């Protein structure tokens, strides 16, 4: 793979050669591949199962680190500086981690091996300035020079410029306007808050409060070195043509700036009061908001601006929740997780261990089932705005997120519980009935499922000048829909009209090359690895043309080392589709699809098993620095540190058991 001048792998990589993997540090060599793929799989699986069992928490859950990028760490320091609570110990630990992530050209990327990213580099640079790094230090000078060359602060995303505006490094007047009166838009009105995806909704409501106040905390230093033209740090943005959607929304933003000057004060005060009530009502029991860091950060700032002091129970609980997102490392550095994934990790680990052959009543599986049963959400959340009569019954992704259970976790938890023989089957049956009823009720009009809401497909939110970063709506996706189809098919609903509609939708979404797009995992390997097992579970024969096209595509994109890999750049550049360094998780996704399609004894599957065996570490795990998960395709990438375990264990187990998992109650 050829490196570009900025240190990234800009050229499309060739298929990875086997010799590039053999003998790499920490990888087992001499694995006895001459013994045959089954013997290899048995040894590899046994070591991996042992490693995964050891990682289970005493309460029954699993949780791997959830790694994103250094904007989480930078914004944590900026929040503490804004509130006046930043301390030297935390600052030094965060700075140590941020420095460790800097690339040779002085920039920071949003995923391992990716190109430098402007906004991420700006925020990391500012955080290091807070930590005392001088602007003329070599690593800082390299970063600021790159920022200037790539547009300066003026070229960064809106959220970065909001953080800078909090300290007077950017003018509030030059940011898009977002009035708190949006809280009053009825749900049928365009751009009401429920037109936004739940993650955006939780962020936008507190930001309306921040936008209304336009606070400025005295800046601890100047940032002229980050402006392309320090004499004109806030250059005007180009105007789009009036007859384009961009032009329409630019003019809408100009109108909102005008409205700010003439807003009725009583209405503005009422909107701020109701926004604060909306925010507080959605604080979780652990103090966080939605179980994710960004809404928590902005909610704390908003409430502080509305007069809630740092000792108020709401603020205090919010700050304590943010401390729980910190991962302290052996080298004294501190990484901030954007969120935590215990429900997701636990259901996937349960499926993996069951499919690897653990008895259905194994203590680890029963303990996991007990914990998952206790996490079922049994009260309405924001999803009930669109489904007011639907009884609750889903699961969330995090420890605490009762407002926003999601369809993906719910489907996988049901599949996990199907695999466990629990001492209280009546309790399990009740939980499954609630979950299936809720899932069926969350189906969108087109027959598919989004992650959190029904028919969250408005075209308008993405057009707002404010929303220039990542997805702000939650349309149905192939991967979530596939997991639901698989779950329903294994729970007596294979021929349910809702399931047949979803199956038809999945078939219509197949790409010409035979793959499916991956919304929540990278990318076509994840989508295809999710959909093919669902099609087979729903009753399609392995000979079906859609299944055969998927198999042909997977075989055609296998790397020369026997594994599969796909870089995040595939979301922007078709040349990167199914190209990248082989990873354990993506290899497992391809194997899961091939095994479901009946390809167990093929050369492609045997080579994939060989890759997993050859690259396994001595402790039974796999190294995987590459990011194979997404929050927003391309814009926000995730390295789930447990993916490298749960998916290979599942794939190896299904290989050893004739290509299928335990499925469900009627499988």
Element (H, E) at 630: strand 629-632
Residues carrying an active site annotation? 408
Strands (E), 233-333: 326-328
- Unique residue bearing structure tokens 């021929």: 495
Q: Is 249 helix (H, G, I), strand (E, B) or coil?
A: helix
Question: 481 with 533: CB under 8 angstroms?
Answer: no
- For the chain, what percentages of helix, strand and coil (3-state, to nearest 5) are there? 50, 5, 45
Burial class (CB within 10 angstroms; exposed 0-12, middle 13-18, buried 19+) of 252: middle
DSSP-assigned beta bridge partners for residue 637: 630
Question: 65 with 641: CB under 8 angstroms?
Answer: yes
Q: Of 519, 498, 528, whose CA–CA distance to 597 is shortest?
A: 528
Burial class (CB within 10 angstroms; exposed 0-12, middle 13-18, buried 19+) of 195: buried
Q: Is 456 helix (H, G, I), strand (E, B) or coil?
A: strand
Dig out the tokens for 25 from the structure: 């540090």
Residues 351, 649: Cα–Cα separation, whole Å: 9
Q: Is 135 helix (H, G, I), strand (E, B) or coil?
A: coil
Question: 407 with 441: CB under 8 angstroms?
Answer: no
Query: Is the dihedral angle over the CA atoms 146, 152, 158, 159 positive or is it negative?
Result: positive
The torsion angles phi and psi of 225, rounded to 5 degrees, stand at -70, -10
Residues 191, 185: Cα–Cα separation, whole Å: 8
- For residue 290, CA distances in Å to 37, 286, 630 come to 44, 10, 17
Instruction: Look up residue 464 and give its DSSP letter.
Output: S
């Amino acid at each position: 793979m050829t490196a570009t001048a900025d240190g990234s792998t800009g050229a499309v990589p060739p298929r990875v050669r086997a010799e590039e993997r053999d003998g790499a540090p920490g990888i087992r060599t001499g694995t006895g591949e001459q013994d045959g793929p089954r013997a290899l799989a048995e040894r590899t699986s046994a070591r991996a199962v042992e490693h995964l069992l050891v990682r289970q928490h005493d309460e029954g859950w699993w949780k791997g680190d959830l790694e994103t990028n250094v904007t989480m760490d930078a914004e944590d320091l900026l929040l503490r500086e804004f509130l006046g609570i930043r301390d030297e110990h935390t600052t030094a630990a965060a700075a140590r981690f941020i420095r460790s992530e800097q690339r040779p050209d002085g920039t920071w990327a949003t995923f391992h091996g990716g190109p430098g990213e402007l906004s991420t580099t700006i925020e990391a640079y500012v955080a290091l300035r807070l930590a005392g790094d001088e602007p003329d230090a070599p690593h800082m000078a390299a970063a600021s020079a790159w920022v200037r060359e790539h547009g300066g602060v003026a070229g960064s995303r809106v959220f970065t410029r909001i953080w800078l505006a909090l300290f007077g490094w950017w003018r509030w007047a030059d940011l898009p306007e977002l009035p708190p009166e949006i809280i009053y838009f009825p749900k049928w009105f365009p751009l009401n808050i429920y037109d936004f995806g739940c993650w955006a909704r939780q962020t936008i409501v507190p930001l309306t409060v921040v936008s209304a106040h336009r606070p400025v905390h005295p800046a601890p230093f100047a940032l002229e070195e980050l402006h392309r033209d320090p004499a004109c740090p806030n250059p005007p943005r180009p105007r789009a043509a009036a007859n384009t959607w961009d032009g329409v929304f630019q003019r809408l933003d100009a109108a909102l700036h005008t409205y700010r000057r003439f807003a009725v004060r009583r209405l503005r005060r009422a909107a701020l009061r109701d926004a604060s009530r909306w925010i507080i009502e959605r604080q979780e029991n652990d103090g966080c908001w939605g179980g994710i860091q960004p809404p928590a950060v902005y909610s704390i700032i908003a409430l502080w601006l509305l007069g809630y002091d740092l000792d108020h129970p709401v603020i205090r609980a919010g700050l304590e929740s943010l401390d729980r997102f910190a991962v302290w490392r052996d080298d004294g550095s501190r990484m901030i997780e954007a969120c935590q994934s215990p429900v997701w990790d636990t259901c996937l680990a349960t499926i993996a261990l069951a499919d690897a052959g653990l008895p259905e009543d194994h203590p680890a599986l029963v303990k996991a089932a007990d914990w998952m049963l206790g996490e079922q959400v049994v009260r309405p959340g924001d999803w009930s705005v669109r489904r007011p009569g639907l009884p609750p019954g889903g699961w969330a992704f995090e420890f605490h997120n009762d407002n926003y259970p999601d369809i993906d976790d719910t489907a996988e938890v049901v599949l996990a519980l199907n695999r466990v023989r629990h001492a209280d089957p009546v309790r399990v049956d009740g939980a499954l009935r609630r979950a299936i009823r809720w899932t069926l009720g969350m189906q969108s009009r087109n027959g598919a499922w989004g992650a959190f809401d029904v028919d969250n497909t408005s075209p308008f939110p993405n057009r707002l000048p404010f929303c220039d970063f990542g997805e702000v709506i939650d349309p149905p996706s192939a991967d979530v829909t596939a997991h639901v189809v698989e779950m329903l098919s294994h729970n007596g609903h294979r021929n349910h009209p809702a399931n047949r509609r979803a199956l038809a939708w999945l078939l219509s979404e197949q790409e010409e090359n035979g793959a499916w797009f991956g919304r929540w995992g990278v990318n076509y390997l994840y989508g295809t690895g999710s959909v093919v097992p669902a099609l087979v579970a729903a009753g399609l024969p392995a000979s079906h043309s859609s299944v055969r096209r998927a198999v042909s595509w997977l075989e055609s994109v296998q790397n020369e080392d026997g594994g599969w890999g796909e870089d995040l750049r595939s979301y922007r550049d078709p040349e990167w589709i199914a190209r990248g360094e082989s990873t354990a998780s993506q290899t497992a996704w391809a194997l899961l699809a091939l095994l479901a399609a009946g390809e167990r004894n093929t050369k492609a599957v045997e080579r994939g098993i060989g890759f997993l065996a050859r690259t396994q570490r001595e402790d039974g795990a796999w190294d995987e620095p590459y990011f194979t998960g997404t929050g927003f395709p391309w814009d926000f990438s995730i390295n789930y540190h447990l993916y490298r375990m749960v998916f290979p264990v599942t794939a190896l187990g299904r290989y050893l058991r004739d290509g299928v998992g335990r499925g469900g109650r009627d499988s």
